[in-house]
Amino acid sequence: MADLSVNLCGIDFKNPVIPASGVFGYGREYEEFYNLSELGGIATKGTTAQKRTGNLSPRIAETPSGMLNSVGLQNPGIDHFIAQELPYLLTKDTVILANIAGSTPEECAEVAEKLDSTQVHMIELNISCPNVKQGGAAFGTSCAMAEQVVSAVRKATSKPLVVKLSPNVTSITEIAKAVESAGADAVSLINTLLGMRIDIHSRRPVLRNNVGGLSGAAIFPVAVRMVWQTANAVKIPVIGMGGVNSGEDAIELMMAGASAVQVGMAVFTDPYAPVRIVREINEFLDEKQIPAVRDVIGTVQPW
């Protein structure tokens, strides 16, 4: 068996596979299928300062090779997370990345500050949320806003800080460099692409929110491109995600420069996808006689 361990920001992961935020809840349902300690880590459901009920239904719709969602960050709030969910997660012998979000830099910093006194291993900051102080534009769509929110969170916590980047930008590398300069220890990408579908019979969008985030296999080539560009633009580690369905997909993102990968929509069609992908990574490495998964990171050879 190959060595599947990786290290990000000084944190050891037994393997590079992490269920992505928003698809895995807090792991309780999936523990009925397998031991959560088989995972490299878990990115928790996005958490805000106060409880959120999310958007009105319909808020999920299937698309060819993907899914649209506008769930709207439904979550029980940071105090509930720390009191009820985090103690359970910390018993699972895997790395816990607490995904956080907010509508202002101050809210994001407040959530990070509360997590700073806990035993959570890492914080993943979602900067795809709309900044209500700036007319609703997402934090991650401009370098200035990205720097502002990351700087606020960096001051609020000493935990390793991963910043989750939006692909809905002109230049992903400029945003990545901006958050690196503001204190990010790593970046994760890509978040969902903005999309829309219309029911031609009712002439209404299929989502109540009209538009939503597109995830799944359809966005995988975009993820590979952006991970490769970002890994070559920053000095901090990159966590790749976006349409990962197999061990070969994970290896491809790692060859593009990712040090670890997150698995999202695949768990909806195959609850075992994360542990299957761990196994398939190992099978690929053994077949190619590669001793460690670290040996494939950033090894793509562009023409």
Across all residues in the chain, what is the average pLDDT? 96
Q: What is the pLDDT of residue 159?
A: 98
**Using omega within 30 degrees of 0 as the cis cutoff, is the peptide bond preceding 190 cis?**
yes
The conformation of residue 130, written as its DSSP 8-state character, comes to B
Q: What is the pLDDT of residue 132?
A: 62
The torsion angles phi and psi of 293, rounded to 5 degrees, stand at -65, -25
Burial of 60 (0-12, 13-18, 19+ CB in 10 A): middle
Q: What is the pLDDT of residue 184?
A: 98
- For the segment 231-256, the average pLDDT, to the nearest whole number, is 98
Q: Is the pLDDT of residue 169 over 90?
A: yes
Q: What is the pLDDT of residue 128?
A: 86
Q: Catalytic residue positions?
A: 129
Q: Is the pLDDT of residue 136 over 90?
A: no
List of E strands, 47-160: 60-63, 66-69, 95-100, 122-126
Q: Are 60 and 71 in contact (CB under 8 A)?
A: yes
- The candidate with the shortest Cα–Cα distance to 93, out of 41, 139, 145, 43, is 41
**Other Cβ atoms within 10 Å of 273 Cβ, number:** 23
Q: Are 220 and 242 in contact (CB under 8 A)?
A: yes
Q: Is the pLDDT of residue 95 over 80?
A: yes
Q: Where exactly are the structural domains of the chain?
A: 6-296
Share of the chain above pLDDT 90, in %: 96
The torsion angles phi and psi of 211, rounded to 5 degrees, stand at -120, 160
Q: What is the pLDDT of residue 129?
A: 77
Q: What is the pLDDT of residue 272?
A: 98
Cα separation values, 92 from 31, 47, 95, 114, 247, Å: 10, 20, 8, 21, 23
Question: Among 3.10.129.10, 3.20.20.70, 3.40.50.170, 3.90.1580.10, what is the CATH number of 6-296?
Answer: 3.20.20.70
Q: Are 40 and 94 in contact (CB under 8 A)?
A: yes
- The candidate with the shortest Cα–Cα distance to 183, out of 213, 162, 167, 199, is 162
Count of residues making up the chain? 303
Q: Is the pLDDT of residue 15 over 70?
A: yes
Q: Is the pLDDT of residue 63 over 70?
A: yes
Determine the Cα–Cα distance for residues 43 and 39; give it in Å rounded to an integer: 11
List of E strands, 64-216: 66-69, 95-100, 122-126, 161-164, 186-189, 193-195, 198-199, 204-205, 212-215
- For the segment 42-61, the average pLDDT, to the nearest whole number, is 95
Determine the Cα–Cα distance for residues 134 and 270; give it in Å rounded to an integer: 39
Determine the Cα–Cα distance for residues 104 and 280; give it in Å rounded to an integer: 41
Cα separation values, 143 from 127, 151, 203, Å: 11, 12, 37
Give the list of residues 6+ apart from residue 139 with CB closer than 8 angstroms, or none: 105, 127, 128, 129, 130, 131, 145, 146, 148, 149
